[in-house]
């Protein structure tokens, strides 16, 4: 039998028979690893240990010590839920049940479920786990699967679309119950240490509002009860930090029904924060040689057809007729920037050209997916587009990454970086893709960045580097991106004159330092629990006169701090109540002033951590505020011990 070669994480190569599975390869490495194998990651995709390998596959073996193990366990927990549900409700129709970052969900039809039903289902799940049923993989002819699911149109659709052309399909069985599934799964239900069903919501088949409404049940699973308890505590903390609740308390934004779904209104306090974020990124852009441009919200659809967005994004675009012509609200800013570049002639000496725009875009997300600021119909991207010579890609990407990390340093967020490589459907030749991916990889490695590989997750027009934020609760959020684009310069016939006096095609680099203002605003609200650093806080200082007699002095102090956002609390309250209110309002600093302070020309300072100092000189306090603001420090630190 002929052999194939697979590549291991350390770069070494392993020869295995051409029909070898992930598990076979693990046994080739060592019998202990073979016995411990749960699944594999092949070319960046989590697969079952029974899946066959191909020549040149990038292989990672997954055991119960791997980061991916929890995904496998949760996938099995979704099956345990489905089995328990059908034991109690045999009429329930199953659709799909994937693992998620925090657990799993299963979408079901033909059954009415309420929150009150979850306890009984969870009890049945625990019985299935206690029984420790073996989880077995079965292969069946595809036609036999069609017969099995004669009354389940959802599974038949999966067989028609996702299993098209396959002779056999896989099922997973536990006890007398089984489900169509590619896996992977753990070896037995008893390996699931702890489960909890969390909530019920509505969903649509395939996420399309035109399709049938389904019931979605969310749950989570862990290896131990202790891990589950820690997660549930963190979940409660996340509820307390919910940006929608804090946004209402601090009057940052609202999304009233009258505006339409996913169309937030920013109140003065919220707009103050957004303006500070914008001012900072504008400053970074200008210092890095970007020129600011502006494009309209609306374009004739001829532009979107030329860019390719009409074919790829038409269903997600807002389209309208004007004087018998079709227009579309822009879902992206890049075609406008490409058009600006196309309005002039360029020499190689003029490149790179760097444009930036804080551009509002519109995407018609499914209503069920809209949530506060995390997913909206209207959002603003801190967009940048560079038009560069191919040989300058590495230098420009390195500079962009420097900007991103400089910006992120002011938010106390952990960052994860991934290189997303060529997808199956892509434009451009092998040589330019290989060169571009290698240039991005070189930037990451020469910069000493730890990064993962998102195999096949690049854009159809080029590879990219994706950044994600990890907040104070350990949750991950999509953030900045750097994308190479060989497609749009071709579609717009963009050129520059080279040293040889011939026309050459530039490469277009898409980059965003925040990602979108809405997403970073949401992340920061929850990450800081509304207690923003001084430079972002909508109110930076509140002056608390101990009595009406001190109001005059309070306003004089305010005038001296006019470069800051300062308010005087002049309501007829006790000092204690004023302090409590300022604390509840998350104001970084409080200045308490009375006759003693007026006589000495000082202030008493209190911060939101309840640290205090009396007799503070006004000039010293102002100078500290200036430094804390200008350096964009994370926490109020005037009274730091």
Neighbour-count burial for 557-582, b at 16+ CB within 10 Å, e otherwise? bbeebeebbbebbeeeeeeeebbebb
Task: Say whether 28 sits in a helix, a strand or coil.
Answer: helix
Cα–Cα distance for residue pair 617/276, rounded to 1 Å: 28
Question: What pLDDT does residue 571 have?
Answer: 94
Decide: 167 and 140 in contact? Cβ < 8 Å: no
Decide: 212 and 204 in contact? Cβ < 8 Å: yes
Quote the mean pLDDT of the chain.
92
Decide: 512 and 383 in contact? Cβ < 8 Å: yes
The tens digit of pLDDT for each residue in 153-169 reads: 999 999 998 888 889 99
Contacts of 318 (CB under 8 A, 6+ apart): 328, 329, 362, 364
Task: Say whether 191 sits in a helix, a strand or coil.
Answer: helix
Domain ranges of the chain: 3-62, 69-240, 253-295+333-527, 541-630
How many other C-beta atoms can be found within 10 angstroms of the C-beta atom of residue 116? Answer: 8
Question: What pLDDT does residue 456 have?
Answer: 83
Question: What pLDDT does residue 508 have?
Answer: 94
**Residue stretches of the chain with pLDDT short of 50:** none
Q: How far is CA 110 from the centre of its chain?
A: 33
In CATH, the architecture of 3-62 is: Roll (3.10)
The DSSP symbol for 352 reads: P
Nearest residue to 20 (alpha-carbon basis) of 47, 49, 58: 49
Question: What pLDDT does residue 257 have?
Answer: 84
% of the chain surpassing 90 pLDDT:
76
Question: What pLDDT does residue 301 have?
Answer: 93
The DSSP symbol for 21 reads: B
For helices 618-630 and 551-560, what crossing angle results, to 10°?
Answer: 40
CATH of 69-240, one of 3.30.565.10, 3.30.980.10, 1.20.140.10, 3.40.190.10: 3.30.980.10
Strand 291-292 versus strand 353-362 pairing type:
parallel
Q: Which residues are annotated as a binding site?
A: 334, 385, 510
Decide: 79 and 106 in contact? Cβ < 8 Å: no
Question: What pLDDT does residue 374 have?
Answer: 85
Cα–Cα distance for residue pair 61/381, rounded to 1 Å: 39
Q: Is the peptide bond prior to 184 cis by the omega test (within 30 degrees of 0)?
A: yes
**DSSP alpha helix (H) spans, 472-631:** 487-491, 517-527, 551-560, 575-584, 595-600, 618-630
* Same fold: 3-62 with 253-295+333-527: no
Residue 416 sits at φ, ψ, to 5 deg, of -115, 145
Nearest residue to 386 (alpha-carbon basis) of 352, 344, 340: 352
Q: How far is CA 133 from the centre of its chain?
A: 36
Task: Say whether 71 sits in a helix, a strand or coil.
Answer: helix
- The pTM assigned to this predicted structure is 0.81
Nearest residue to 566 (alpha-carbon basis) of 557, 574, 575: 557
DSSP letters of 531-576? Answer: ---TTT-SS-EEEEESSGGGHHHHHHHHHHTTTS-EEE--SS--HH
Q: Which residues are annotated as a binding site for Zn(2+)?
A: 334, 385, 510
The tens digit of pLDDT for each residue in 207-224 reads: 877 889 999 999 999 999
Decide: 297 and 360 in contact? Cβ < 8 Å: yes
Nearest residue to 531 (alpha-carbon basis) of 627, 412, 621, 381: 412
Question: What pLDDT does residue 425 have?
Answer: 75
Question: What pLDDT does residue 641 have?
Answer: 58
Where does 541-630 sit in CATH, by number?
Answer: 3.40.50.800
Cα–Cα distance for residue pair 133/112, rounded to 1 Å: 28
Strand 325-329 versus strand 265-266 pairing type:
unpaired
Q: Which CATH class is domain 253-295+333-527?
A: alpha beta
């Amino acid at each position: 039998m002929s052999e194939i070669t697979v590549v291991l994480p350390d770069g070494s190569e392993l020869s295995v028979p051409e029909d070898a599975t992930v598990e076979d390869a693990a046994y080739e490495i060592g019998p202990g690893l073979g016995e411990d194998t749960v699944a594999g990651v092949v070319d960046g995709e989590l697969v079952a240990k029974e899946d066959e390998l191909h020549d040149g596959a990038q292989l990672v073996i997954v055991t119960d010590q791997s980061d991916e193990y929890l995904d496998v366990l949760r996938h099995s927990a979704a099956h345990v839920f489905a089995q328990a549900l059908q034991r109690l409700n045999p009429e329930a129709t199953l659709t799909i049940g994937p693992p998620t970052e925090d657990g799993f969900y299963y979408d079901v039809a033909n059954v009415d479920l309420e929150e009150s039903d979850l306890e009984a289902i969870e009890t049945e799940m625990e019985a299935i786990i206690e029984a420790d049923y073996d989880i077995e993989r079965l292969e069946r002819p595809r036609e036999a699967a069609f017969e099995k699911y004669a009354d389940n149109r959802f599974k038949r659709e999966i067989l028609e679309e996702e299993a098209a052309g396959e002779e056999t399909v896989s099922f997973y069985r536990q006890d007398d119950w089984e489900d169509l599934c590619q896996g992977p799964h753990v070896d037995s239900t008893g390996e699931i240490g702890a489960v909890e069903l969390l909530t019920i919501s509505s969903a649509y088949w395939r996420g399309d509002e035109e399709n049938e409404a389904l019931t979605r049940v969310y749950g989570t699973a862990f290896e131990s009860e202790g891990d589950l308890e820690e997660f549930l505590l963190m979940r409660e903390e996340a509820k307390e930090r919910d940006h929608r609740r804090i946004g209402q308390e601090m009057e940052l934004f609202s999304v009233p029904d009258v505006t339409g779904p996913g169309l937030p209104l920013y109140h003065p306090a919220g707009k103050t924060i957004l303006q500070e974020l914008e001012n900072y990124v504008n400053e970074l852009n200008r210092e890095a040689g970007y020129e600011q441009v502006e494009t309209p919200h609306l374009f004739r659809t001829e532009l979107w057809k030329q860019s390719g967005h009409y074919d790829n994004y038409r269903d997600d675009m807002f389209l309208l007729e004007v004087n018998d012509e079709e227009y579309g609200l822009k879902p992206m800013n890049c075609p406008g920037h490409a058009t600006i570049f196309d309005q002039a002639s360029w020499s190689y000496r003029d490149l790179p050209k760097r444009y930036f725009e804080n551009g509002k875009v519109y995407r018609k997300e499914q209503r069920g997916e809209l949530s506060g600021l995390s997913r909206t119909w209207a959002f603003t991207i801190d967009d940048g587009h560079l038009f560069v010579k191919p040989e300058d890609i590495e230098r420009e990407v390195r500079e962009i990454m420097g900007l991103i990390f400089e910006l992120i340093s002011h938010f106390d967020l952990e960052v994860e970086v991934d290189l997303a490589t060529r997808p199956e459907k892509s434009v451009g030749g092998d040589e330019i893709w290989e060169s571009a991916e290698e240039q991005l990889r070189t930037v990451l490695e020469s910069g000493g960045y730890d990064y993962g590989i998102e195999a096949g997750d690049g854009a159809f027009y080029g590879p990219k580097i994706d950044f994600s934020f990890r907040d104070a609760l350990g949750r991950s959020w999509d953030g900045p991106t750097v994308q190479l684009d060989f497609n749009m310069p071709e579609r717009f016939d963009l050129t520059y004159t080279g040293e040889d006096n011939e026309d050459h095609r530039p490469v277009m680099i898409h980059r965003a330092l925040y990602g979108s203002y809405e997403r970073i605003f949401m992340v920061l609200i929850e990450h800081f629990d509304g207690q923003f650093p001084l430079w972002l806080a909508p109110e930076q200082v509140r002056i608390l006169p101990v009595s009406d007699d001190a109001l005059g002095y309070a306003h004089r102090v305010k005038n001296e701090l006019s470069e800051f956002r300062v308010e005087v609390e002049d309501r007829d309250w006790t000092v204690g109540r004023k302090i409590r209110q300022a604390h509840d309002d998350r104001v970084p600093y409080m200045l308490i002033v009375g006759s003693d302070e007026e006589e000495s020309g000082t202030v008493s300072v209190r911060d939101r951590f309840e640290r205090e100092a009396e007799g503070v000189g006004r000039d010293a306090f102002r100078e500290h505020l200036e430094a804390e603001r200008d350096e964009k420090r994370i926490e109020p630190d005037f009274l730091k011990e």
